[in-house]
Each structure stands twice: as C-alpha cells, then as structure tokens.
Copies of this chain bind each other. A is one copy, B any other.
Amino acid sequence: MYTEMTPNGYGISIEKGEVLFKDKSDFQDVEIFESRGLGRVLTLDGLMMTTEKDEFFYHELITHIPMITHKNPENVLVIGGGDGGTIREVLKHKSVKNVDLCEIDGMVIDASKKFLPTIACKLDDPKVKIYVEDAIEFIKDKKNVYDVILIDSTDPMGPGEGLFTEEFYTNVKNSLRPNGIVVPQSESPFGQQEDCRKVYKLLKKIFKNVAPYCSPVITYPSGYWSWAFCSDDVEIPTFETQLDEDRALEIEKQCKIYNSKFHKGVFATPNFIKELTK
C-alpha cells in the first residue's frame, strides 16, 4: 500500500502493484509503480506527482487557462514538469512555435519517457527543447523571451524550494514578453493553507494581477489544488471575458475538462480561498 499523509494526519492510500522503476537521482528518489485504479503512478521522494488516470486534471488546468487567455502564445517555457504532461497539453495549441522545458532532474524525464508513454509522449516533438538545468540559473539571463511560463514544480521543499522565492519570480517576470502570463502551481488551498498563503503573498509583490483558480486533483494532498494566474498586462478572466472561441473549441475537443465556460467559471472562487490568497 502506498500512503501519502498530509502533515494533518490524513491522505491518500493506493493499492501498490508492480514497481516498474526505482532509483535515486542527484536530487531525489524517483519511483514509478503500477496501480489497479489509477494506472501507473510517479512519485518523487515518496510524494505523489502524477498518475495515468487523473493526470488530466493537473495538466489541463495549468496549461489551457493561460494559453487560451493569451491571444497568441508562440514561445512557451515549462519549468519542472519532467513527466511531459504539461508539454503535451501546450503542444495542442497551434500557435506554439517553441516550448522550452527546464527540468533539473534528467532521471524524471528518462523514466517518464520509458514508463509513462501516454504522459511523456510529446517530449521528442521537434518544437520542444529540453534543458536539464536548474531553472533558477536558467531564467536569470532570459529577458523578453516567453509568452507563457508554466511552473510545474514540486512543493516548496527539496529541489523545488528555490522556485518559491521573490528573486526567482522576479526573474521569471523579466523573461516575459509584453502580455505575458505566468502560472505556477500554488499548493493545496485546503491541505497546505500556510504554503498557499505564502505563495500568493509573494506573487502579489511581483505581479499586478494575481488570482487563484482551483480544481480537484484526485491524488494530491487533500484532493484539491490551486494554480496562480499572474500577469502585469493581462486581466484576470471573468464571466464577461471575450475568449477566442475557435481556439477554445479546438482545445475542448482534445480535453476531458477544458471548455471556454469552465475557463471563465473557474475564477469564481470560494470565499475561504479568496481570503487565503488575498
């Protein structure tokens, strides 16, 4: 049995099947195992990263909200996300000419390519450039480069820790082109409220417009997750926002969750999350 408990004494349990991959990289323990109900499961340092059956929640949410809100995303950066799920979603957008993936741990990429083919399937696409580097260094000299940046990181501990600092977010912002949008994953609004509060406090120091949007992610701590829509130039979507409905429909056809109504509705935030992220 695999069990990941939150510090609050509850969490998810999964009947563990065959272990397909298990090794220690320079950064963390990497493991992929079979499960009956969730397909293959990727964990890092024993913490849930993704499963074949519920990965669509996380990957659709982090990707399509900023990608469709942006009017013409051509150059995209994914930080972390070595499993390739976010890259796969980004490449559904026809406007994209280039995606950089900056993942610190090459073992995650290699193991995902081998054992999570439905998730990592687009990592060899010619539009993708992979940098096995620390994003903290990678981003420092990038100025006016990206239209959309997706920070698909681990929690603010271990290798992900430096991705939750003022300096890092400032460098990320400086690497954006005009009308650029950044979306970091921003922890659980129920199971990790203190981490979540800190992330938003920091993001609001850097970006003019910051708002959370949330969704279930079945296998994450507490099962409820948040992402932060951040931009200086682009307004937070509302019910009244005019999206490009043709592009949205093109994405909807390829998705389990995303549609343009969902896109606008997801920013109608529960009171306690507004309070937590204010």
Contacts and interface: CB of A to CB of B under 8 A. Distances in A.
Interface stretch (A147-155, A204-212, A255-263): A255-263
Nearest to A252: B271
Contacts of A44: none
A242 interface: no
A265 B262 CA distance: 8
Interface stretch (A67-75, A111-119, A214-222): A214-222
Contact of A259 (B219, B256, B271): B271
Nearest to A37: B8
Contact of A256 (B14, B35, B266, B272): B272
Question: How many copies of this protein are present in the complex?
Answer: 2
A230 to B, nearest CB: 20
B239 A257 contact: no
Nearest to A275: B256
Which label, helix, strand, loop or mixed, suits the secondary structure of the A interface?
A: loop
Interface string A33-44: 001111000000
Nearest to A2: B10
B224 A239 contact: no
B239 A265 contact: yes
A5 B15 contact: yes
A162 interface: no
B266 A268 contact: yes
A224 B219 contact: no
Contacts of A222: 216, 218, 223
A39 B38 CA distance: 29
10 contacts: A7-B37, A8-B36, A9-B36, A10-B37, A13-B13, A190-B218, A239-B261, A239-B264, A256-B271, A257-B272
Interface of A: 3, 5-15, 35-38, 54, 190-191, 216, 218-219, 222-224, 239, 252, 255-259, 261-272
